[in-house]
Structure 1
């Protein structure tokens, strides 16, 4: 079963602007589209379906696949439908190339001290991401950067968790040394470790999915659904490329829950069985029925989370609608006791992490509701 953990923050108190993006992947795609293998055109990465891409790679020899990954790592590493181990190898190569480029850039005479510091930070992060044993499913250094990492084995997983972050998520914030559970990579690892502790012999994986462009700060972009819409397209493509033998649960944090809300009805219904939102500013739907999904919808919010103070309204495209933990919304409201603030839902020992683990493993009868009447689990197992 696939579990998507979607994480973000949201607000709309100030204007914000994204930095102009350099686009190394666009250059790589252009080169790819002018390339060929054994006299055959290469599939368009922006329009070919995952099934088409999968059939294409299946028709190649191992040597041909490796040559494509070596020549076009920024394309192959992000290509839904390409063999997953090949994507890991391509992204390791792309990360190494970008690390070398940033080290070189850090010595540029026309760079400011802050610019040199940022270049060295990026070089360090790229080096960390390409460390032995890490499984990078997607990597794009364009702009602030996008990345996705897998914990576990996607090929054998029956349940897979994917962490998808929200505002202010980029290459540099993907992982943290202090309070690692507050960053996408640490959240995914915490969930995976919790699953392994609860079910050592189970077949599951977790993906830290920071593979969409998020709002920059708590400004205008975070108060609209524009970036969530674009992210939902990417999420849908990634989900559909996962093995048919796995099913999907989405765990959506803050602005990530906006992405889940706008994308819920487009995702493959037989694959996505659960959508769990926490610290949510709203899902751009009036209620669960408005999400147009057959998935179970869960909602959680810790009492100390500042997100409860945002205006749960939508006016002229600003705001994200009703509060998902309100009774009228119709979600299954679960306990997040101990989470502490907006980014603590995956901290060790919290009821939120325990509940997410239970949902990820399909142990619906063990989920602890926010109230004593256990209405949140009514009929959940029967619907599984």
Structure 2
């Protein structure tokens, strides 16, 4: 019986698809097999001894101690692409908001309350203050062509924009999904220097933190409009405010409001609404539950941030799962122990991601607790599990 600890508001109807004879769900397990959550902070959480996996119903995992999980052989899943359409729609809305001064115009129109019959005349007189360009025919630079970036690129191209994208790590699947009207930027600097609008869709890590800075703003066209639905830390706020002051940036739309950005008329702060749709929340939860179910029942890994994707068709027999530090002769040591105990391997797959290796072995024979302990004792092994 697998115990699933849930945090945040995960739809019960989705969790109910888990077979009741195999799973218990709750919010107060002391030693769960798996955790499913949204934004609940686990950074200072004491990881239970029995914990095998954590699934984040969303893309970001900055609320999960990923490094500690890896050391303990705990698989961390996220749900890339499940909220992509929701974010895409907000990016499109942001393109219009940044161009047409809609937000400022609405606030001004509301300020006319009490003017009576003069309102219509005042509107006609004042509307020119909120004039802005159409997006059709303008160049949109997309930084990052993952699930969201591809959807934004195709939608913007369909709206008549000239779209260029930059992503040195674009996947084959993403490339196949791109419209033929989307052009490849020769470099990041080329994208920044030639775009009328820029939208950012890259992860925040040690290599990307603060990458949109004073040096990059200096390359941009005067009056550029920037949309950031990825992460606030990608843009250096101090340098952004300088770029607004000198006229380089005419509008910045961000889904990550910070105190220093809230009193500038050229900044539109959106309260982190990118994935805040019922459809997105449902899609993320469904994917997270599916990832946990496949891993707990079959050992299959897909969409993990710290383990490699690894799948071997499961016939329902005895399956051995081993995680290890990715160093030479790990597989040899595991198979030697099995062979010395007359355990036959009927199917096997090995994969690695960075410094983490993962093995699925379908075996025939009596895999005793002593055998499991011998494999666990191999220097560099972080997890051993048997599925029967």
TM-score in same-fold range (> 0.5): no
TM-score normalized with structure 2 length: 0.23
TM-score normalized with structure 1 length: 0.24
Bigger relative contact order (CA 8 A; separation at least 6): 1
Q: Per residue, is there more helix in 1 or in 2?
A: 1
Q: Per residue, is there more strand in 1 or in 2?
A: 2
Name which one, 1 or 2, has greater alpha-carbon Rg: 2
